Amino acid sequence: MPLSTFNIMKRFFSLILISIAFVASGQKMEKLPYGDMNQWVTRDIKESRVIGGDWKKCYAIGPTTTIRGDEPYANMGGSPWATSNVMAKVMGITKVSNAVFPHQRAAGNQCARLSAIMEHCKAVGLINIDVVVAGTMFLGEMLEPIKGTSDPYKKMEMGIPYTKRPVALCYDYSLTIPAGAQKTYSSGFGKKKTYPGTDKAEVFIILQRRWEDEDGNLHAMRVGTGRELLGKSTAGWVNKHMLKVNYGDITGKPFYKSYMCLIPEEKSYYARNSKGKMVPVVEEGWDAPTATPTHMLVMFSAGSGEPYVGTIGTDFLVDNVALLF
């Protein structure tokens, strides 16, 4: 038997055995749409002449296509994914920020590369800013164009409607954090700051039960929580990594860490209310362990969630995002 045929048959039977194992254990895997990271929208956007007038690429996770021009982007092809890649228009200047890229994992197989970078924007006499961007992808939508660096969460509609109760978030990843680097803070205003130690990559899945009051405010109870910080470079790919979803109040559990807490009101993520207005979703408490969620939040980031903070040069590769039941 030719070696190539043998390898194909070996892979085929391996997949069968994996499927049998899942069925036997009573578990099943449900891939999130576009979770294989093999399809990308490529946006070609021309920046303003005063900052060079170059054509820049801005990637989005969605059906394979190319868009040329500076029209605001909205999720395409039923993709639930948004990223930190954005087009900004500040003081009449068009600028592209791109820190999430398609990356070739193997022949015919792509993944997402989330990088921590320093974005520069300089126009003599007008603007001269440096902004730390930690490449991030999340379930939801980014609202373009970005018009400033204040209140970054107001520009992100975080979460999608979802009523199932997964056991875990499953994904493949590879992480590289530069040795000897530091954390840097730079929002474009004020001085840059550096801190000892390196930043960490972050992953979370949060299930909420949301409701809207008569004044249009959004509230939520925390139904399920899975959250982790990844602070060590890997030797290669970690495949089928499982982030367990824990239901109900987890504050007294042995595995509980402070970063798994309810989202503080001042750091609330935003969503549209029934009138289409972006408002904060305020978490009011922990729900019953048997509660049914209304929304799911999933995020991967090359930084630990603090806006404009990161370890420059960090690369977080993510692939095959799915839910385990």
Q: Are 133 and 14 found together in one domain?
A: no
Q: Are 57 and 8 found together in one domain?
A: no
Q: What is the mean pLDDT of residues 281-307?
A: 96
Q: Are 36 and 26 found together in one domain?
A: no
The pLDDT-based confidence of 91 (bands split at 50, 70, 90) is confident
Peptide bond preceding 166: is omega within 30 degrees of 0, i.e. cis? no
Q: What is the mean pLDDT of residues 21-25?
A: 47
What pLDDT is stored for residue 12 in this prediction? 43
What span, in angstroms and rounded, lies between the C-alpha atoms of 137 and 205? 12
Contact 301, 177 (CB under 8 A): no
Contact 213, 219 (CB under 8 A): yes
What pLDDT is stored for residue 17 in this prediction? 43
Q: What SS3 class is residue 238? A: strand
Question: Closest by alpha carbon to 243, among 115, 257, 306?
Answer: 257
What pLDDT is stored for residue 223 in this prediction? 98
What pLDDT is stored for residue 35 in this prediction? 98
Classify 190 in phi/psi space as left (phi over 0), alpha (psi -120 to 50) or beta: left
Q: What is the mean pLDDT of residues 255-269?
A: 96
Q: Are 204 and 283 found together in one domain?
A: yes
Q: Are 74 and 48 found together in one domain?
A: yes
Looking at the predicted structure, is the pLDDT value of residue 18 above 60?
no
- 135-175: per-residue pLDDT in tens? 999 999 999 998 876 777 888 999 999 999 999 999 999 99
Q: What is the mean pLDDT of residues 86-94?
A: 88
* Cα pseudo-dihedral 185, 190, 191, 195, rounded to 10: -30
- 37-68: per-residue pLDDT in tens? 999 999 999 999 989 999 999 999 999 999 99
Looking at per-residue pLDDT, the higher value among 270 and 122 belongs to 270
Domain that holds residue 13: 1-30
- 177-201: per-residue pLDDT in tens? 999 889 999 987 778 899 889 999 9
The H-or-E segment that residue 280 falls in is strand 278-286
Q: Are 102 and 139 found together in one domain?
A: yes
What pLDDT is stored for residue 3 in this prediction? 43
Q: Are 56 and 11 found together in one domain?
A: no
Q: Are 72 and 24 found together in one domain?
A: no
Residue with tokens 């791109």: 98
Q: What is the mean pLDDT of residues 8-29?
A: 52
Per 3-state DSSP, what percentage of the chain is helix, strand, and coil (rounded to 5)? 10, 50, 40
Q: What is the mean pLDDT of residues 299-323?
A: 95
What pLDDT is stored for residue 16 in this prediction? 44
Look up the pTM and report it: 0.89
Looking at the predicted structure, is the pLDDT value of residue 76 above 50?
yes
Q: Are 24 and 97 found together in one domain?
A: no
How many domains are there within the chain? 2
Q: Are 101 and 16 found together in one domain?
A: no
What pLDDT is stored for residue 149 in this prediction? 66
Q: Are 55 and 106 found together in one domain?
A: yes
Q: Are 162 and 150 found together in one domain?
A: yes
What span, in angstroms and rounded, lies between the C-alpha atoms of 135 and 150? 18
Residue with tokens 């021009």: 69
CATH code, 171: 2.60.120
What span, in angstroms and rounded, lies between the C-alpha atoms of 75 and 77? 7
The pLDDT-based confidence of 13 (bands split at 50, 70, 90) is very low
Token pair in block for residue 112: 């997402």
Mean pLDDT rounded to a whole number for the chain: 90
Question: Closest by alpha carbon to 127, among 89, 87, 86?
Answer: 89
